Structure 1
Amino acid sequence: MTASATWPDIAFTPWKESCAALHLYTQIVGKYRLAHTPWVNHSWHATLYVTPRGLTTGMVSDGAGGGAEIVFDFHDHAVIGMAADGGSARFALEPMSVAGFAQKFTALLQDIDATPQFDGRPNEIPDAIPFAEDVAERPYDADAVRRFHGALVQITRVFETFRTAFLGKVSPVHLFWGSFDMAVTRFSGRDAPLHPGGIPALPDDVTREAYSHEVSSAGFWPGGGGIDYPAFYSYAYPTPDAFSKAAVQPEAAFFHETLGEFVLPYDAVRQADDPDATLLAFLQSTYDAAASLGNWDRAKLDCHPGKPRQPRAI
């Protein structure tokens, strides 16, 4: 298999409308997890995780037997609910409205004796329509969704490798359904200045808790939000002086003045001779800029990447 085949083509424009629908579907499922999970720092309790077949909530402490899991299966194109008592239910991912998805998801939760209660309003989307009122028919491009999942599998693998080269506090590799991005975040260990907030349809206290400490964060968007192509990003909060002028790799990476972060088009990785090395160079060089310019204690925080079956040397 060639590198370009391993990293699938996920051009944004052809599946833009399907992507927008999938984003809202993940918000509905994510809000179920959010409603039934105790708060974890930086909203890590609310995220979704990539699996070999799609996305999962992981176990939510709710429902028959005390546990439920919701899965997006992007191979069979279904949403599946599983309960700790062995019960399960599913419905097909296909063209439908957001309201229709919410109705089917509520019925699925009832079928597995889970609690069908969650907030009915989208987050981080300007002028968003409540789920129950969003009755416009949405497309579902099954092939595009399958290729998107293939990209998430590759991205997760590289992000997890990058995550190992840090001894400090670091997030899981996870998908934030609010902004619909994969992310992995490193922390300096120091408090950050109060975040100004102002993210559309997101309470400022949530934003300020998420950015309570200094971070260098990297991630991936499928497109939208200021760019019309899939791309990797990297930013620091607070932003160190001269961060935007830092020399980063690879050559295709650049500082996006409007977004205030470094951006690397996904296709620059997909089409590279060594996609893994290209993406790792972006992740490492942008972290280097954030940590060095931000005066992080790198002697205590940085380490060699982890390897299978090799305990880290003390």
Structure 2
Amino acid sequence: MWPQLRVADWTETRDTLHMWTQIVGKIRLAHAPLVNHWWQVTLYVSPRGLTTSAVPYHSGFFDIEFDFLDHLLRIRGSDGTDRSVALEPRPVADFYRETMHALGELGIETRIQAHPNEVDPAIPFDEDHQHASYDPSAAELFWRQLLQANRVLGEFRSHFAGKVSPVHFFWGAMDLACTRFSGRTAPPHPGGAPNCGDWVITEGYSRELSSCGFWPGGGEEGAFYSYAYPEPDGFADHPVLPAGAFYSPDHGQFLLPYEAVRTAADPDRTVAEFLQTTYEAAAEHGDWDRAALEEDPNRWQKHR
């Protein structure tokens, strides 16, 4: 259930896939209305890969899905039309041109900011011949990692009655995330992400938060992470579980290597302990109103 995928074994595929998800994410951004913290730009884990979900276009909708079983990018319109783009070894420039052409054939007029964000260098998509790798087995294994992470993060999300994000995939940093909010505003974030306007980061961090998730970095096989903004005094020194978790001053967050989860006797419980104790580090030291914000998701179970 928790597959092994060493980062070193698929770095080139990961970096190419990162650029492809940025292209698809920017297509969603071009058509979806703004939702606080940029929630309208994200992708979601699906039974076959990653999807935009339904995106509005004029009086209808379309969606785009990375299918990591058939290794196709599927574009489907609510009028019954569809197109597909092969997921195979190819430069980002070719993938970009074919994807935009497929949208044009479906009558979906789209203009995007045609270069990546949160990476350096930010090679324009139509000039990117550097990223051209695609290992279908690695892409499928990564999706299966996301399936498991999505499932446990979703369970964790259900215990919060306050404002909380969906479990969603941010293509900027290529991570699966879920964020809880205290209900209070936050000081303006200083920004600093490469090739990303500070105003973008200001919107993302406009409210006090505790965020957690999974991304394919930070360990030999990726890592679960958890951080707070603003980080309260005492956060980094708060005792957390499991034993393999630690606070990284370089990253400004708690990390739990994926390999520590995969090899644990109970991987689900291992991740759940990490998510809960690192959230408590933010909530306790940040003086959150936990009684008002937390809830038992099984409170109506006896009536079901």
The TM tier, using the shorter chain, reads over 0.9
Could you tell me which residue of structure 1 aligns to residue 182 of structure 2? 188
**Residue 308 to residue 75, structure 1, CA distance change in 2 (3 Å):** farther
**Cα deviation digits, residues 118-177 of structure 1 (max 9, x gap):** 110100002210101112361111001111111111111100000011110000000000
Match of 2:228 among 236, 256, 260: 236
TM-score (norm 1): 0.94
Match of 2:20 among 21, 25, 30: 25
Match of 1:310 among 285, 301, 304: 301
The one-letter code matched in structure 2 to 1:310 is Q
TM-score (norm 2): 0.97
| Partners of 2:165 and 2:179 within 8 A in 1 | yes
- Off by >3 Å, runs of 4+ in structure 1: 226-229
Pairing 1:105-184 to 2, within 5 Å after superposition: 105-136=99-130, 138-184=132-178
1:276 aligns with 2:268: yes
1:255 aligns with 2:250: no
1:45 aligns with 2:40: yes
- Following superposition, the deviation at residue 227 of structure 1 comes to 5.1
| Partners of 1:62 and 1:115 within 8 A in 2 | no
Match of 2:199 among 201, 205, 219: 205
Sequence identity (%): 50
Distance 1:269 1:308 in 2: 29
**Residue-pair matches, total:** 304
1:96 aligns with 2:83: no
Distance 1:202 1:149 in 2: 26
User: Over the residues paired in the alignment, what is the CA RMSD in angstroms?
Assistant: 1.7
Distance 2:121 2:85 in 1: 29
- Following superposition, the deviation at residue 116 of structure 1 comes to 3.0
Distance 2:300 2:124 in 1: 48
**Residue 308 to residue 99, structure 1, CA distance change in 2 (3 Å):** farther
Unaligned stretches of 5+ in structure 1? 1-5
Could you tell me which residue of structure 2 aligns to residue 3 of structure 1? none
1:215 aligns with 2:209: yes
The one-letter code matched in structure 1 to 2:82 is S
**Residue 62 to residue 131, structure 1, CA distance change in 2 (3 Å):** same
